[in-house]
Amino acid sequence: MSTPSPSTPAHVPLRRRAATGPLRIGVLVSATGANLTTLLALRDARPEEFEVCLVASHAERVKALEVARRAGVEAWPGDFDSFCGTASAARDGAARERYRDRARQWHDGLDARLAEWERDHGELDLIVLAYHRWIEGRLLDRYSGRMINQHPADLSVLSARGEREFTGKDPVRLAMAAGRRTTRTSCFLVDGTQDGGAVLAMGPEVPVGERRPTPQDAWEQELEQKRRSDRACLEWTVRAFAAGRLALSRDRHPDGSHVVVVDGVPTPLGGRRLTEEVAV
């Protein structure tokens, strides 16, 4: 591990805004709004601590947008697919590069709209993703260190090459096929890597039991994991972020991600590991 110079702080706190008033949250959504519902429940229970300010989607007909509107939160539909096409249709290198360039342009446009919104309404402290598109460009830069995502796998499991084993698509089934007897959700900082950012916390482990690595069993496992691991993981991370409990060390784990510091104490790869009995 590297040793910082005396003039360089060993830990960089994640919350950048003065710790006054509620944590101002923006949410990017793509599906039913389960994570958004968790955030709205935090808002409703402790409005002095949490404010869900804005919800945006890559698509027009997304259930989560209706969840936001019913809760009185400003909601932005999007036109990503009409502007960019789909990744599955980009079948050669040139097409994939065009798709990626268009996706970057689309997200840069969202970044500009968010910047204008913030000038009128105040800065967002945290962006939470429940979002089915890769993000690149200025949007990542604007919210560096304050954009989080949930991934339905244990991101502390590394391959023999020191790389995260269960990234990308279908991680629950991949974990089951690899013989893992439990699965869990990881909450991590979004950066320019593919599910490679610093892991802040992991939700309770969910036993696989007699399920097999078939598409149906893996889907049932993921649904149970959403109930038992997703919510706890997201709640803990957002509460810790709001309370200023999280920081990044200059040190790095073997996979290259920064060591996460909780309450001044460096954590192993995976950050705070929650159980169903203990979630503090």
Contacts of 280 (CB under 8 A, 6+ apart): 236
* pLDDT at residue 72, as a whole number: 98
Between strands 186-189 and 147-151, the pairing is antiparallel
Give the tens place of pLDDT for each residue, 222-276.
999 999 999 999 999 999 999 999 999 999 999 999 999 999 999 999 999 999 7
Range of the domain at 35: 20-143
Residue 161 resides in a domain: yes
Of 99, 127, 143, which closes a domain? Answer: 143
Count of the separate structural domains present in the chain: 2
Per the model's pLDDT, the better-predicted residue between 232 and 14 turns out to be: 232
Query: Which candidate, 34, 19, 17, 18, places its Cα nearest to that of 233?
Result: 34
Same domain for 173 and 216, yes or no, is yes
**In a shared domain, residues 185 and 253:** yes
User: Does the pLDDT of residue 9 top 80, yes or no?
Assistant: no
The residue assigned the tokens 């970044």 is 111
Place of tokens 């040793």: 3
According to the model, what pLDDT value does residue 166 have?
Answer: 97
Q: What pLDDT sits at residue 14?
A: 87
Residue 189, H or E segment: strand 186-189
The per-residue pLDDT for 217 is 98
User: What's the confidence (pLDDT) of residue 254?
Assistant: 95
pLDDT in tens, 64-118: 999 999 999 999 999 999 999 998 898 899 999 999 999 999 999 999 999 999 9
Q: How far apart are CA 118 and CA 107, in angstroms?
A: 16
Could you tell me the pTM of the whole model?
0.92
Return d(Cα 280, Cα 277) in angstroms, integer: 10
Q: Which residues contact 69 (CB under 8 A, 6 or more apart)?
A: 75
Average pLDDT, the chain: 92
CATH number reported for the structural domain that contains residue 78 in this entry: 3.40.50.170
Q: Is 131 exposed, middle or buried (0-12, 13-18, 19+ CB in 10 A)?
A: buried
Taking the C-alpha atoms of 268, 202, 56 and 62 in order, what is their torsion angle to the nearest 10 degrees?
150
Of 37, 48, 42, nearest in space to 71 by CA: 37
Whether 26 and 124 have beta carbons less than 8 Å apart is answered as yes
Higher pLDDT, 11 or 18: 11
Band of residue 19 on the pLDDT scale cut at 50, 70, 90 = low
Is 3 inside any structural domain?
Answer: no
193 and 220 co-located in one domain? yes
User: Cα 244 to chain center, whole Å?
Assistant: 18
d(CA 54, CA 115) in angstroms, rounded, equals 13
Nearest to 155 by CA among 117, 202, 115, 98: 202
255, 268 contact by CB (below 8 A): no
Amino acid at 177: A
Other residues' Cβ atoms within 10 Å of the Cβ of residue 115? 13
Q: How many helices (H) and strands (E) does the chain have?
A: 8, 14
Is 8 inside a domain boundary? Answer: no
Section 130-154 average pLDDT: 94
> What is the reported pLDDT for 8?
52
pLDDT, position 276: 76
Residue 159 pLDDT exceeds 50: yes
